Amino acid sequence: MEQTKIIAVTVENQPGVLARVAGLFSGRAFNIISLAVGETEDESMSRMTIVARGDEGVLEQILKQLNKLIDVIKVVDMSVEKCIQRELALIKVGVDGKSKQELMTVVDIFRAKVLDVSNESFTIEVTGTDEKINGFIDMVESFGIKEMVRTGTIALTRAKKTKKQEAKGESK
Amino acid sequence: MNGSQILLECLKKEGVDIVFGYPGGVVLPLFDALYAEKAINLVLVRHEQGAAHMADGYARSTGKVGVCLATSGPGATNLVTGIATAYMDSIPMVALTGQVATSLIGNDAFQEADITGITRPIVKHNYIVKDIKDLAQTIKNAFHIASTGKPGPVLVDLPKDVFTSEMDFTSYPSHPNLRGYKPVCEGNKLQIKKAVEMIEKAERPLLYVGGGVVLSGASEELMKLVEKTEIPVTTTLMAMDAFPSDHKLNLGMLGMHGTRCANYAVQESDLLIAVGARFDDRVTGKVADFAPHAKIIHIDIDPTSISKIVKVDVPVVGDAKNILKEITSQIKKMEHKDWVKQTEEWSKEFPLTYRDSETEIKPQYVVEKIAELTKGEAIITTEVGQNQMWAAQFSKFKKPRTFLTSGGLGTMGYGFPAAIGAQAGNPDKLVIDIAGDGSIQMNIQELATAVKYNYPVKIVILNNGWLGMVRQWQELFFGKRYSSTFIEDSVDFVKLAEAYGAKGYRIEKKADVEKTLKEAFAHKGLVIMDFKTSREENVWPMVPTGAALHSMIDGGLA
């Protein structure tokens, strides 16, 4: 059965590392849904967040093959960790002839932000899990999406909580 | 010191005394430093592909890291096939390439090629050194990566200005700095315990042994386990020399051109113990029908090869030598009388055989004679195709690192330069390349190298005038439509040998086979023996592609 996995990969912050990871996916015909890369708290390392899709065997191979790369320092399967995931999307939505008010309602419901306004379009920023972003896209599709860009998911494990905090529901 | 001198110092610290290489524009400073260097012998090849295969043959036959060297651009790209060959068979190699000066990289400069980009999928790792300060540490890392864990080729790309810039060089780093590289060598204790229990319970266990046993130097440990447990052994093409051919529990090679006995044993076994093997498609046949009754223990240093093709019941990640030793010490003494008897019956009923002839020279006959005369003491290399399969089927091996063949990539043109590399590493051994008339021509230019340095390799050409393995497939599966496989009498190999200053024989009668082999083996220099063999001989038995292992065809031999 196909599943989606979020994988956090800590790598050497060196030229060519992205190519090694990307080459691994293309060379072995692994499916990649999104990939986000940036520096970490330690400037000698970068962190890639990869969202990959495949059956159990393929996902296991992806984790092992990533681990095998010399420049990969650590691979964490975020799907087995409690983690926070976020993705950001910028969406230019057409507004001519449609109700701007209706669009603003959707923006409010999704706690999105309007960044740029013209007579023809609004450019909206929306942040959240990919589910939330997909939901937002569904809602604004009827207005006409002129342009869209998504960052891909990034994720961090949740901090360890005391029992008391958990009881209070502060883990959300 | 300049970068060239530092590089040579580093190589010496790694114990390198021979480099197979070819000069060119950007590596001029390095060759200039080599000119004065006494401790490193540069073997000048005639084509860089030859250099890579020589380094590979040197590594396989000695266990040391092989080193090859080429200039930027075409020099580097010519190494590619040799690097890929080494990668597929996990051979420790360091390939050094020149690169255009750092200021020119990316400008499509003369003889520029992005060789780290080109080789990325076929190396264990690669580097480009952009600053002389990183040179020594990079060389340390490269040799460490190439030779530890699952070995493999590492390429180090060296821009011209790195060779010429200067710095104080005080000491070679004592350790690699690789925080992301920690190969697991010791097997997990719990997994080993599970494996032992499973082996003790099995009634029809079978050891399926691959090249990893040779690479880890685990032949002795394998023998001890076999002797304590009476478990029969089948080997892959990469491990023909891992276990003595004449041992009564050696069932021979498994897979597409394996013995019926080995393949039947796989299909009937209730426990397959894979050691340093990776379930290649030439081994498994139809995967769904592979070893249908067997549980599987898989011992391998590479976690990615576990459960990649066949689901494994007990994986043990680590070095074969350590793990086999540990299993042998824990396991009780066992016998498998009925099972062994069954394999002996198969062996008797379906031996590897061929229809001999008095009028023609059969290629298998030549290989048998070589085995008889050399008694497992020679190093045999092969090209790829029918010659390779006959060499594997009919040679007799005693010791590891005596059978060098391109198993994974299947590189025609491998055998001859590999033989030169093996000869360089084993000056006192008899080194024989078993070749076809097609593949020998793929690196024939290295005759000049072998003659120049007096590497007395013996080339045995099983000459049937065809690209034989492809012809065999055309005969069997393409209605005998022999498209582009007929290469009859295109070369006079005797004259060719003479043209290079070597000795050549043409052998057309069966009666002359043994005599010529003896003469050639006694000759001090390089010899080409052109055996005009039976034209349309096929390699039998055979598992057709997509069929299960027990569904073998044999051309009416059995």
Domain boundaries, chain B: 3-164, 189-349, 363-532
Q: Which pLDDT score, from 0 to 100, does residue B303 have?
A: 96
Could you tell me which residues are beta bridge partners of residue B504? Answer: B528
Q: How far is B130 from chain A (nearest CA, A)?
A: 11
- Give the H/E segment covering residue B219: helix B219-229
The CATH architecture of the domain made up of B363-532 is 3-Layer(aba) Sandwich (3.40)
Residue B350 has pLDDT above 60, yes or no: yes
**In a domain? residue A161:** no
Q: Do B307 and A70 touch (CB under 8 A)?
A: no
Residue B542 has pLDDT above 70, yes or no: yes
Q: Which pLDDT score, from 0 to 100, does residue A170 have?
A: 44
Tens digit of each residue's pLDDT (9 = 90 or more) over A45-95: 999 999 999 999 999 999 999 999 999 999 999 988 889 999 999 999 998
Could you tell me which residues are beta bridge partners of residue B530? Answer: B461, B506
Lowest mean pLDDT across B113-117, B141-145, B189-193, B306-310: B306-310
How many C-beta neighbours within 10 Å does residue B173 have?
15
Give the domain range for residue A95.
Answer: 84-155
Q: Which pLDDT score, from 0 to 100, does residue B558 have?
A: 57
Nearest to A23 among B121, B180, B304 (CB): B121
The answer, for A80 touching chain B at a CB cutoff of 8 Å, is no
Last residue in a domain, options A81, A96, A117: A81
Torsion of CA B310, B314, B319, B320, to 10 degrees: -80
CB–CB of B240/B212 below 8 Å?
no
Q: In the structure, what pLDDT confidence band is assigned to residue A1 with cuts at 50, 70 and 90?
A: confident
Separation of alpha carbons B203 and B215, rounded Å:
29
Q: In the numeric block, which tokens belong to residue B242? A: 């891992």
Q: In the structure, what pLDDT confidence band is assigned to residue A159 with cuts at 50, 70 and 90?
A: confident
Chain B residue with minimum CA distance to A58: B308
Separation of alpha carbons B165 and B159, rounded Å:
11
Q: Do A70 and B121 touch (CB under 8 A)?
A: no
Omega before B292 within 30 of 0, i.e. cis? no
Separation of alpha carbons B436 and B433, rounded Å:
10
> Hey, what long-range contacts does B377-380 have (CB within 8 A, 24 or more apart)?
B377/B429, B377/B430, B378/B402, B378/B429, B378/B430, B378/B431, B378/B432, B379/B61, B379/B403, B379/B404, B379/B419, B379/B422, B379/B423, B379/B426, B379/B429, B379/B430, B379/B431, B379/B432, B380/B404, B380/B432, B380/B433, B380/B434
- Do A113 and A76 share a domain, yes or no? no
Q: Do A23 and B125 touch (CB under 8 A)?
A: no
Nearest to B304 among A12, A27, A65 (CB): A65
The CATH number that applies at residue A136 is 3.30.70.1150
Q: Do B180 and A27 touch (CB under 8 A)?
A: no
The answer, for A20 touching chain B at a CB cutoff of 8 Å, is yes
Q: Are strands A83-94 and A145-150 parallel, antiparallel or unpaired?
A: antiparallel
- Do A65 and A95 share a domain, yes or no? no
**In a domain? residue A171:** no
Tens digit of each residue's pLDDT (9 = 90 or more) over B377-393: 999 999 999 999 999 99
Mean pLDDT of A108-113: 97
Q: Which pLDDT score, from 0 to 100, does residue A54 have?
A: 96
Residue B136 has pLDDT above 90, yes or no: yes
**In a domain? residue A68:** yes
What ipTM goes with this model? 0.93
Separation of alpha carbons B473 and B479, rounded Å:
9
Query: Total structural domains in chain A?
Result: 2
- Do A15 and A73 share a domain, yes or no? yes
Q: Which pLDDT score, from 0 to 100, does residue B39 have?
A: 98
- Do A98 and A56 share a domain, yes or no? no
For residue B285, give the 3-state DSSP assignment: coil
The answer, for B130 touching chain A at a CB cutoff of 8 Å, is no
Tens digit of each residue's pLDDT (9 = 90 or more) over B432-454: 999 999 999 999 999 999 999 99
For chain B, what is the mean pLDDT? 97
Residues of chain B with pLDDT > 70, as a percent, come to 100
**In a domain? residue A168:** no
Q: Which pLDDT score, from 0 to 100, does residue A167 have?
A: 65
Nearest to B180 among A16, A57, A71 (CB): A71
The answer, for A38 touching chain B at a CB cutoff of 8 Å, is no
The CATH H-level (homologous superfamily) assignment of domain B189-349 is TPP-binding domain (3.40.50.1220)
Of B218, B235, B303, the residue nearest B273 (C-alpha): B235
Nearest to B120 among A11, A23, A73 (CB): A23
Residue A96 has pLDDT above 80, yes or no: no
Q: How far is A68 from chain B (nearest CA, A)?
A: 8
Q: Which pLDDT score, from 0 to 100, does residue B490 have?
A: 84
The CATH number that applies at residue A46 is 3.30.70.260
Q: Which pLDDT score, from 0 to 100, does residue B555 have?
A: 86
Q: In the structure, what pLDDT confidence band is assigned to residue A169 with cuts at 50, 70 and 90?
A: low
B420 compared with A102, residue with greater pLDDT: B420
Residue A43 has pLDDT above 80, yes or no: yes
Residue B358 has pLDDT above 90, yes or no: yes
The answer, for B116 touching chain A at a CB cutoff of 8 Å, is yes
Name the DSSP class of B276. Answer: S
Q: How far is B7 from chain A (nearest CA, A)?
A: 22
Name the DSSP class of B321. Answer: H
Q: Which pLDDT score, from 0 to 100, does residue A171 have?
A: 41
Q: Do B116 and A16 touch (CB under 8 A)?
A: yes
**In a domain? residue A141:** yes
The CATH architecture of the domain made up of B3-164 is 3-Layer(aba) Sandwich (3.40)
Could you tell me which residues are beta bridge partners of residue A74? Answer: A10
CB–CB of B97/B62 below 8 Å?
no
Q: How far is A64 from chain B (nearest CA, A)?
A: 5
What are the CA-CA distances from residue B460 to residues A79, A92, B521, B532 (Å)?
Answer: 58, 71, 11, 11
Q: How far is A58 from chain B (nearest CA, A)?
A: 8
The residue to which tokens 């590493």 are assigned = B425
CB–CB of B283/B254 below 8 Å?
yes
| Residues of B assigned a catalytic role | 48, 110-111, 160, 469
Q: In the structure, what pLDDT confidence band is assigned to residue A97 with cuts at 50, 70 and 90?
A: low
Last residue in a domain, options A50, A81, A112: A81
The answer, for B189 touching chain A at a CB cutoff of 8 Å, is no
- In B45-115 the beta strands, taken as DSSP E runs, fall at 66-70, 93-99
Tens digit of each residue's pLDDT (9 = 90 or more) over B81-96: 999 999 999 999 999 9
**In a domain? residue A59:** yes
Last residue in a domain, options A81, A107, A139: A81
Q: Residues for chain A: how many in total?
A: 172
Mean pLDDT of A160-166: 71
Q: Which pLDDT score, from 0 to 100, does residue B38 have?
A: 96
The answer, for B182 touching chain A at a CB cutoff of 8 Å, is no
The burial of B183, by beta-carbon neighbours within 10 Å (0-12 exposed, 13-18 middle, 19 or more buried), is given as middle
Tens digit of each residue's pLDDT (9 = 90 or more) over B214-234: 999 999 999 999 999 999 999
**In a domain? residue A17:** yes
**In a domain? residue A162:** no
Nearest to A70 among B116, B117, B145 (CB): B145
